[in-house]
């Protein structure tokens, strides 16, 4: 790396020791750093160049361009499913504890979106990741709610009938035909989905804000 001076008037390149342009006589010279080929080079961080301090190596001509991380959609989807299952598990546990489990719609989306970013290699967020995480949230919350009803059926019938939990899972569709059971279940799902939609919209706005910032 070498230091040269460039005339702001005629563009002549001069050695560092010159105080004025030997071509046109102008004293308006700008300091530049060049490589062995005479091409502009980024000076070291902290260097005062023409009255300004260089605080980033990205300011030079040869600075490496920002590379957008590769996004592995398949791996990201697997990650969203795995972390979405964790959200479904939390929903199931809260339901058994008689705690409002609907907030897990938000939790499940956040976990799914985190899992997508972790496994896809793109932790900055993407529209596709949000869409996949939203779909995973819908499926996982529905699965969790279904299993919650199955457990209620199992707990109510296990003393009177010789059934296991898997028998209750298979019998759940018949119980859901009863309006007195179906309506509260649908209410729980809608409540959970509302929280999930809130999280999804928030993630979309965050992604757009990050893209504008770049």
One digit per residue, the tens of pLDDT, for the chain of length 214 reads 566 677 777 777 777 777 777 777 777 777 776 666 656 666 555 555 455 554 554 444 444 445 555 789 999 999 999 999 999 999 999 998 888 888 899 999 999 999 999 999 887 778 899 999 999 999 999 999 999 999 999 998 988 888 899 999 999 999 999 999 899 999 999 999 999 999 999 988 888 887 776 6
The CA distance from 139 to 142, in Å, is 5
Domain that holds residue 23: 2-59
In a domain, 30, yes or no: yes
pLDDT score at 34: 63
pLDDT score at 54: 47
Considering the entire predicted model, what is its pTM?
0.65
The CA distance from 162 to 70, in Å, is 53
pLDDT score at 109: 94
The CA distance from 135 to 133, in Å, is 5
In a domain, 154, yes or no: yes
In a domain, 68, yes or no: no
Question: Is 140 in the same domain as 47?
Answer: no
pLDDT score at 10: 77
pLDDT score at 58: 46
In the chain, the number of structural domains is 2
In a domain, 77, yes or no: yes
pLDDT score at 38: 58
């Amino acid at each position: 790396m070498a230091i040269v001076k460039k005339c702001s008037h005629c563009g002549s390149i001069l050695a560092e020791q010159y105080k004025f342009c030997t071509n046109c006589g102008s004293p308006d010279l700008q300091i530049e750093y060049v490589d062995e080929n005479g091409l502009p080079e980024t000076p070291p961080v902290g260097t005062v160049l023409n009255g300004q301090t260089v605080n980033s190596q990205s300011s030079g001509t040869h600075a490496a361009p920002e590379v957008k991380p590769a996004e592995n959609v398949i791996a990201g989807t697997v990650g969203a499913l795995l972390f979405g299952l964790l959200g479904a598990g939390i929903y199931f546990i809260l339901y058994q504890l008689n705690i409002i489990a609907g907030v897990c719609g938000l939790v499940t989306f956040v976990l799914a979106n985190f899992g997508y970013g972790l496994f896809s290699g793109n932790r900055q967020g993407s529209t596709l990741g949000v869409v996949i995480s939203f779909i995973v949230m819908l499926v996982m919350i529905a699965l969790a709610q279904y299993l919650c009803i199955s457990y209620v059926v199992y707990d109510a019938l296990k003393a009177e009938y010789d059934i296991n939990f898997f028998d209750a899972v298979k019998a759940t569709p018949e119980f859901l035909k009863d309006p007195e059971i179906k309506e509260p279940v649908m209410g729980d799902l809608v409540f959970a989905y509302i929280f999930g939609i809130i999280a999804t919209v928030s993630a979309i706005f965050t992604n757009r804000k990050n893209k504008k910032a770049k």
